[in-house]
Structure 1
Amino acid sequence: MKKILIVSLVASALLTGCTGGQKTASTLTESGLNPENFNTEVNGAQTQLFVLKNKNNMEVCVTNFGGRIVSVMVPDRDGVLRDVVLGFDSIQDYVKYPSDFGASIGRYANRINQGKFTLDGIEYQLPRNNYGHCLHGGPKGFQYVVYTGTQISDQELKLTYQAKDMEEGFPGNLACTVTMKLTDDNAIDLNYEAETDKPTIINMTNHSYFNLDGNPAQNNADYLLTVNADSYTPVDSTFMTTGEIVPVEGTPMDFRKPTAIGLQIDQNFEQLRNGHGIDHNWVLNTQGDINQICASLKSPKTGIKLDVYTDEPGIQVYCGNFLDGTLSGKKEIQYNFRASVCLETQKYPDTPNKPEWPSCVLRPGEKYTSHTIFRFSTDK
């Protein structure tokens, strides 16, 4: 990988994230990001922008603030590079407009019922930041911390974070690592690892918002979605899983064959009403086999296809139902309703309170691992 793209600033600019001055094109990333806008401090920790590039000229930009994928430049069917994820142009905007855009989520992705769980006879109370539940580790989850970033090579980045015992209510000092590798077959390979000094729970994921048109002003209705799953976990009106696992057969939740999202998402179906559209966990048929595709997303307009692989048992598909056009991201493009799709590989939601589901418990002496691959290609 090229050297970390960090432009030196005077001390005052480091503290304020100064972005003044005319910049030439040579200082910008392929996606148009100015690295100076990421070179600042958040809560006393230094933030940066890291750039990964492969032999095909694909580019992935990552900031250690929240371990976020900021931009992903991939070629469409005509060879034109398009940025296929949502995000912001600066750390200041990530701080000003709290979001999950591109983040490495932890300590527990998705929801925990009423923010409560019991482990080894001890009840823990977590923050309740979403319809009375704890979502994505709470209001100060990993998406708002500064990871330590180390550029391993032109194509690999290592992010580490030390979460303290009882941080956001979770037990155990947790040492976690997210390794992002850009491969030469146009895949982003994500490996998560963690160790703890007390029994705890953990469920990490990446929360990139994919827009395969490279135009977030447009919605995802035409995207073809495939989910390799015969069943899913329904939710109530607060987005909390009911504990059931039900078949997709005969419902709008059936994406076992490539299906346009727009054909399904607005049907008169209780689960779509409860989720304000698609915002559900699917129970994958892949059974932890990283070599099987668990989900795919394709834009007929650009020909860009995203295949997802994981060793996790579930995947949360979220279709940007809460984007409403009031937020503008990179290049001041307005992020309109359903302008993206999130594909969050995971343990099932509220697993700590559903012992019959795959466990999320991590104990001292054990190592948590999770592996996900986002592979991009195009049709011809």
Structure 2
Amino acid sequence: MKKTLILSMLSVFLLVACMGGKQENSVELTESGLNPQKFVTDVDGKKTGLYILRNKNNMEVCVTNFGGRIVSIMAPDRNGTMRDVVLGFDSIQDYIKYPSDYGASIGRYANRIAHGRFSLDGVTYQLPQNNYGHCLHGGPKGFQYVVYDVAHVDSSEIKLCYHAKDMEQGFPGNLDCSVTMKLTDDNSIDIRYEAQTDKPTIVNMTNHSYFNLDGDPNRNNSEYLLMVNASNYTPIDSTFMTTGEILPVEGTPMDFRQPTVLGEQLSKDSEQLKNGHGIDHNWVLDTKGDINQVCASLESLYSGIKLEVYTDEPGIQVYTGNILDGTQTGKKHITYNFRASVCLETQKYPDTPNKPQWPSCVLRPGEKYMSHTIFKFTVDK
């Protein structure tokens, strides 16, 4: 009780400390214009809130423990103006009302598992089939829809924890996992995932932020420069499921080894682009788990904001917002239209449990799952 009270008081302090003078009905708003009170509620008997991280450069990242979501990121453009560069909603009620992956900490298994089924140590497990007959992002109540416990929070770092019960969404093993997000003074969001289990299981966690580096969701991603440090990718069928092949990107619209205008590639005639309704594919990274190498970058020529991604994971899913269709209204009452963003999801390859030739996602008792990703924001003037 005492620890909970201290955390609650600290949360209020952080909210008040990061205001910037904006008000709404006498309530201080974040720099991104969020009202923290709209994030305070009960979901499944657990309290939710909004937590604000800041660094010495006045960059601000707002996080809610509902789904472990990044709600807003205020990053400087080439003129020093702070822009909110991710999509999301301005209240918990909208996150509940409109199911989405905006900014979420995805688990227990990010991406797809074919037919929602896999075998481990001779036992076959059936998962929910919530996407074209497959299991996507941990099922209809994956980690993006649970309330994480706030284990630690200060002015620049938050640690979120969740206990997933044995057979929750069909996955074996009691899983204790955590997501730690730290906003560093070089304008990076350093994200570390950890997990332990009491029974053999599978784990694959990621962050599902929808980046709009223009800071204006009315603009689409067609003029972005995308680079993916990968010579190969995993093609998909018409249900978005990987075929099991690993193919070279050379000579295809999937070749982003050099910074390439995204819209030009998306406009090409390609069976893979038709299958994905655009890009919704995994790349086999050439970085081979080296966290010190840039595995992908995305740049807005409009704002000058550039995002560099680093990871120790073997793959990254690039998703170009193909199902955004104008039916959802996000922060500041802006409608999210077709391809208003790009997702860069570091991961094990999709359907790895059914493809033993690919990097393993199996976690056993006594082992620790660890995954590390960095989103670094810079400016090209």
TM-score (norm. length: structure 2)? 0.94
Q: How does 1:209-248 map to 2 (within 5 A)?
A: 209-248=210-249
C-alpha distance in 1, partners of 2:151/2:187? Answer: 21
1:276 maps to 277
Q: State the percentage of identical aligned residues.
A: 74
Residue aligned with 2:139, SS: coil
Computed over aligned residues only, the root mean square deviation of the Cα atoms, in angstroms, reads 1.6
Deviant stretches of 4+, over 4 Å: none
Residue aligned with 1:312, SS: coil
Residue aligned with 2:115, SS: helix
> Structure 1 residue 336 and structure 2 residue 331: aligned?
no
TM-score (norm. length: structure 1)? 0.95
> Structure 1 residue 366 and structure 2 residue 367: aligned?
yes
Structure 2: gaps spanning 5 or more residues = 1-8, 16-22
> Structure 1 residue 140 and structure 2 residue 147: aligned?
no
1:355 maps to 356
**Code of the aligned partner of 2:299:** K
Question: CA offset at residue 6 of structure 1?
Answer: 7.7
Per mean C-alpha deviation after superposition, the further-off stretch among 298-307 and 147-156 is 147-156
**Code of the aligned partner of 1:253:** M
Residue aligned with 1:99, SS: coil
> Structure 1 residue 67 and structure 2 residue 68: aligned?
yes
Question: CA offset at residue 321 of structure 1?
Answer: 0.1
8 A contact 2:14–2:155 mirrored in 1: no
C-alpha distance in 2, partners of 1:4/1:78? Answer: 32
C-alpha distance in 1, partners of 2:71/2:215? Answer: 13
1:76 maps to 77
C-alpha distance in 2, partners of 1:164/1:326? Answer: 34
Which of 6, 11, 22 is the aligned partner of 1:4? 11
2:36 maps to 35
8 A contact 1:6–1:48 mirrored in 2: no
Question: CA offset at residue 256 of structure 1?
Answer: 0.4
Question: CA offset at residue 217 of structure 1?
Answer: 1.4
Question: CA offset at residue 22 of structure 1?
Answer: 5.1
Residue aligned with 2:250, SS: coil
C-alpha distance in 2, partners of 1:27/1:46? Answer: 20
Question: CA offset at residue 103 of structure 1?
Answer: 0.1
Question: CA offset at residue 43 of structure 1?
Answer: 1.0
C-alpha distance in 1, partners of 2:149/2:226? Answer: 35
Residue by residue, what CA displacement relative to the aligned partner does 1:85-117 show, whole Å, maximum 9, x if unpaired?
Answer: 000000000000000000000000000000000
Residue aligned with 1:184, SS: coil
2:288 maps to 287
Q: How does 1:37-186 map to 2 (within 5 A)?
A: 37-186=38-187
**Code of the aligned partner of 2:362:** V
Q: Residues 7 and 289 from structure 1, CA distance in 2 versus in 1: closer, same or farther, beyond 3 angstroms?
A: closer
Question: CA offset at residue 286 of structure 1?
Answer: 0.2
C-alpha distance in 2, partners of 1:94/1:6? Answer: 25
8 A contact 2:14–2:52 mirrored in 1: no
C-alpha distance in 2, partners of 1:121/1:291? Answer: 38
Question: CA offset at residue 149 of structure 1?
Answer: 1.3
1:23 maps to 25
Residue aligned with 1:4, SS: helix
1:14 maps to none
8 A contact 2:77–2:303 mirrored in 1: yes
Question: CA offset at residue 3 of structure 1?
Answer: 3.9
Residue aligned with 1:328, SS: coil
Q: How many residues align?
A: 367
Q: Residues 71 and 227 from structure 1, CA distance in 2 versus in 1: closer, same or farther, beyond 3 angstroms?
A: same
C-alpha distance in 2, partners of 1:269/1:230? Answer: 18
Question: CA offset at residue 4 of structure 1?
Answer: 1.7
**Code of the aligned partner of 2:171:** F
